[in-house]
Amino acid sequence: MEHDDIQFEESLRKFAAELGIPLPDSSISLFQRYLDELKKWNKAINLTAIDDDREILIKHFVDSIAGTKLIDNVGEKFVLDVGAGAGFPAIPLKFVRPDLAIELLEPSEKKGSFLRYMIGSLSLQQVTVATAKLEDYVERRNDGRLFDYIVVRAFKVDGLGLLLSKLLKPGGKVILYRAEKVRPGFELASLALMEEVEYELPSGCGHRVLSVFSN
């Protein structure tokens, strides 16, 4: 669907409601502008293989905000998005939960430029970008900041559990966005699998799982 404003809002609210996620009114225009800029930048740099508006809404936006089901809304929460890419899931999460403080970790300078542009053009507060590999990010950070949540989508974390655990507050959680449950024997170093939440994306767009690990 090439969106007009009314159709876009109706579709987005409908898809989010199917997962039981309410959208604040303030988020609608942010999602609209995000979609427009994503498609514009995608012509120059490879941000997403999906270029259909409806599929972007469902497979990127709605799938991203499914994580709100697992993020506590009491007090300020610090979130790290590892392998942020085009900003999924953290930027949609920020639209729906503006109280979250977010760092986007993305090794690609080009994608980092897109993320910084989106943050600035949408006037997002408490959102920062770090362009580095996870290993370098852990080694170089000097502020000692730890995160309440680490979200990971479309980024392979096998063998990276120790690095993730170094960035997590005591009792913090790593949320993996996956297409299926973790296989038997899957480990993230000292992080234990706490729960897995399964859901179906609207319009038959696929089965998804949120796998939650904690220290």
Which residues does the chain have with pLDDT short of 50?
1
Strands (E) in 52-167, as ranges, are: 78-82, 101-105, 127-130, 147-153
User: Taking the model in full, what pTM does it have?
Assistant: 0.94
How many structural domains does the chain have? 1
For residue 193, the domain's CATH number is: 3.40.50.150
What integer pLDDT is reported at residue 185 of this predicted model? 85
State the sign of the Cα–Cα–Cα–Cα dihedral 57, 12, 92, 17.
negative
Which residue range is the domain that position 79 belongs to?
5-214
pLDDT one-digit tens code per residue, 41-74? 999 998 999 989 999 999 999 999 999 999 998 8
Check if the beta carbon of residue 89 is closer than 8 Å to that of residue 155.
no
